[in-house]
Structure 1
């Protein structure tokens, strides 16, 4: 039993490494070690069984606790199914969908192609408010171009993100007719920092803006397309591929976390908190406020407290705001909303302490967007990480949701494609608020060492 206790301790420490601060996982061999933690349940289950056989109940309890901790993140992928109130309905839906796919498979290829070409001018395909997206690592450009196009047709893909792309693959896709389905595309410029090739993104609908590099990370450029929906709403799609750990663990972590800047660009500013003179605060992220103002623009309830990474701020009865930083320093600023254009009062404290000095302003925002806007970002690609990695969780905390976690109908592991098990989760479809996901699934494309990942995205209110 001594050996079993030692092995249990090793597994416990191994699992505890997943709770390192973001960025601290950027040291060899941590990225690889953390990627394997989803499989810790196997030895831990064996330890529990051995403990029961040996009737060592303290060991059984300890092993069971570590086992539950190891399973905690895995259950996030199936939590909705566990809570499903109507299993029979889900079974009926499954077989109805299976029959539908069988009927579609019976259509001729020409007929299917015509249907999709007729729908290509709509981002949402056949269903208003929804659209299908797909991401695939093309393995140094070796993925089969014809199979990629067939996957686009079969899955009614409106946005296609590719990584590890080569000029030859782009030419092959064009020769095989991808422009009939997805006529618009943008790609990153080839750089020495590319890891296996450049990234590209294809669209059914003409974008309003394109860029070869939406955000700078120490890896291949991140091409993006932006679509303006209305004057208060837009959606940006990006294809990303942070470096793999074997090309530099520090750059691996920086690249993953660096993608969070895309999400921050469409989040309400965390640097400044805005209030209208009617006393209705506009809530921003984790900032909690209780401030009211009367119609004559005088503060009537002078109690404001807010706290985040930068520190706290208090609104005093004499219309001054004292901002306390984490380093112990403080600053007091007088707030006098006397002019009509000052009815929006802004308390200055930031999620990023380097972005502010703790002042108060009557206008403006920090990084981010106007709280009235409903801009969205979708990041697709081989992100070389998953939820056991602190760097990836930091990316999600920047304001992104993972489609597989949102749908919660199973773990969609994508690498390596040639093994049915074990596989790990590397490829993701992430999105910001005002979107949700369903119908997440893996698809196989010959020539790639990754499975492709597809999802249906829906606009929400």
Structure 2
């Protein structure tokens, strides 16, 4: 029993150490999957630790604690600076406009969709005019923008649930992955084109798309858009750019690198290839930089060296930034264990608050929403 427990500790320690490999070294099967499970190794190490206390084996206890801490090395960022970020969140919430919906009851999907239909019947303002009204509110130097990303599972995600979420969370930018043309039409039939009238879709290429193409929607009239803003061996990365002020722009991109099962090298290269979007030019006169925000199912977590290499290129992860606990997004059908696969990341110039994951019907990922404030 004693040596068996030490074997468990050693296996857990070596397993956790896989997350410390150099970037790109994780591009070998089955490393991406083993590394994804590293944050869950606290379960066997705690079991060993409790057994060691009962057995009064203090050396074994120390070994189990060390292995457990190693497995949680990259999880610590989800909790640090909690008090500071909590204060920021409360400040933003106090300064925001109160919702017309009573605080004690959230609107149902049917009520939200009825609101869209009522708006269509009673107003003679076009979607473009409505978006232009919002433009003045959303593109100032202190703009606050609500964003959302979701993997739609081969286009099976429930369109009504997506539109209801956009309406209830006041989403300004929506990024979707694994889309089909049928789902896009269903979204429009349920009012998405009224709420977010501007969009950019990636090309529908079954030979490269991993489950479907990507798309991005926005409430305001963009100054430019691209079908694919960066070249990676996966689905196109569509992007939309809007002005922040006289000197800066902000670009939103919807990304979905290939999963490891479609090739570990393409998986790693796709994740790290997104760092090209961080190569924005600084404004020497004003000292400002354009901002890039990537939203999507990046098929990786903080435990993966390839993903950490992407962050080191100049991105901040919203989930890490708010430090209020990991918002895990896969799989949707299990309350536990879940892992972090979906992300909202941005270059410097924004502050994140209110990062949440929410179930959307008929897809295997949770939606991830966040509020970003442009500094």
Q: Is the shorter-chain TM-score for this pair beyond 0.5, marking a shared fold? A: yes
Q: 2:257 aligns with which of 238, 242, 245?
A: 242
Other-structure match for 2:233: 218
What is the distance in 1 between the residues matched to 2:237 and 2:23?
22
Other-structure match for 2:293: 378
- Greater percentage in strand: 1
The Cα shift of 1:85 comes to: 9.5
Please show how residues 416-427 of structure 1 align to structure 2 within 5 Å.
416-427=331-342
What is the distance in 2 between the residues matched to 1:227 and 1:398?
23
Other-structure match for 1:9: 10
What is the distance in 1 between the residues matched to 2:78 and 2:163?
29
> Residue by residue, what CA displacement relative to the aligned partner does 1:232-289 show, whole Å, maximum 9, x if unpaired?
20000000000000000110000000001101235x5xxxxxxxxxxxxxxxxxxxxx
What is the distance in 2 between the residues matched to 1:457 and 1:103?
25
Please show how residues 51-450 of structure 1 align to structure 2 within 5 Å.
51-81=52-82, 101-102=103-104, 105=107, 109=112, 110=114, 114=119, 120-121=131-132, 122=134, 129-191=143-205, 192-266=207-281, 268=282, 370=284, 372-450=287-365
- Greater percentage in helix: 2
Q: SS at 1:102's partner residue?
A: coil
Structure 2: which 5+ residue stretches go unaligned?
none
Q: Check 1:24–1:85 CA distance in 2 against 1; reply closer, same or farther (3 A cut).
A: closer
Q: SS at 1:47's partner residue?
A: helix
The Cα shift of 1:125 comes to: 6.0
What is the distance in 2 between the residues matched to 1:185 and 1:162?
11
The Cα shift of 1:171 comes to: 1.3
The Cα shift of 1:100 comes to: 5.4
What is the distance in 2 between the residues matched to 1:126 and 1:257?
29
Report if aligned partners of 1:415, 1:426 keep a CA contact under 8 Å in 2: yes
Q: Check 1:132–1:451 CA distance in 2 against 1; reply closer, same or farther (3 A cut).
A: same
> Residue by residue, what CA displacement relative to the aligned partner does 1:154-192 show, whole Å, maximum 9, x if unpaired?
110000000000011111112222111100011111221
Q: SS at 2:104's partner residue?
A: helix
Aligned residues: 353
TM-score calculated relative to the size of structure 2: 0.87
What is the distance in 1 between the residues matched to 2:85 and 2:318?
18
Report if aligned partners of 1:120, 1:158 keep a CA contact under 8 Å in 2: no
Q: Which has the larger radius of gyration?
A: 1
Report if aligned partners of 1:119, 1:125 keep a CA contact under 8 Å in 2: no
What is the distance in 1 between the residues matched to 2:223 and 2:139?
22
Q: Check 1:156–1:55 CA distance in 2 against 1; reply closer, same or farther (3 A cut).
A: same
Of stretches 46-55 and 125-134 in structure 1, the one that deviates more from structure 2 is: 125-134
TM-score calculated relative to the size of structure 1: 0.71
Q: Check 1:247–1:174 CA distance in 2 against 1; reply closer, same or farther (3 A cut).
A: same
Report if aligned partners of 1:26, 1:250 keep a CA contact under 8 Å in 2: yes
What is the distance in 2 between the residues matched to 1:84 and 1:404?
11
CA RMSD between the two structures: 2.8
The Cα shift of 1:6 comes to: 1.3
Structure 1: which 5+ residue stretches go unaligned?
269-368
Q: Check 1:257–1:126 CA distance in 2 against 1; reply closer, same or farther (3 A cut).
A: closer
What is the distance in 2 between the residues matched to 1:250 and 1:16?
20
Report if aligned partners of 2:342, 2:368 keep a CA contact under 8 Å in 1: yes
Report if aligned partners of 1:217, 1:258 keep a CA contact under 8 Å in 2: yes
